[in-house]
């Protein structure tokens, strides 16, 4: 079902001080080329590319709706570019393979700091 979606909306919220640490459904959707719209809460920001424009303030339903409308009204070429961009970013930065490629640089930087 996710593979046929135009967009995934995840209005996850903080409840009693607890929020979703790493909503993996955001990574799954983007890996399939499905753009996401979500509240900027918990670890959500870590699950999307830097400067991703489709995270909105928690509990701002109008902003969530407007952002979803923006994604749904993208031109075909802009939508395809967004789809490719999120998929590429997830595969490079959040997949096991991408993490393995980045690991030596992370250790190099950590060693420089120590």
The residues, ordered by sequence, that sit 6+ positions from 33 with a Cβ below 8 Å of its Cβ are 83, 84, 86, 87
CA–CA distances in Å: residue 81 to residues 26, 35, 55, 62, 110: 18, 10, 18, 25, 34
Q: What tens digit of pLDDT does each residue of 4-43 get?
A: 999 999 999 999 999 988 899 999 999 999 999 999 999 9
Q: What share of the chain is helix, strand, coil (3-state, %, to 5)?
A: 55, 10, 35
Q: Which CATH superfamily is domain 2-113 in?
A: Glycogen Phosphorylase B; (3.40.50.2000)
Query: Domain extents for the chain?
Result: 2-113
pTM assigned to the model: 0.85
């Amino acid at each position: 079902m996710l593979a046929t979606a135009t967009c995934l909306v995840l209005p996850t919220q903080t409840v009693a001080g607890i929020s979703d640490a790493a909503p993996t459904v955001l990574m799954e959707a983007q890996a399939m080329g499905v753009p996401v719209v979500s509240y900027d809460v918990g670890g959500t920001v870590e699950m999307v590319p830097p400067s991703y424009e489709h995270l909105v303030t928690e509990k701002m339903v109008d902003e969530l709706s407007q952002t979803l409308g923006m994604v749904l009204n993208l031109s075909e070429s802009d939508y395809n570019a967004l789809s490719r961009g999120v998929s590429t970013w997830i595969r490079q930065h959040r997949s096991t393979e991408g993490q393995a490629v980045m690991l030596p640089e992370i250790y190099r930087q950590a060693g420089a700091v120590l």
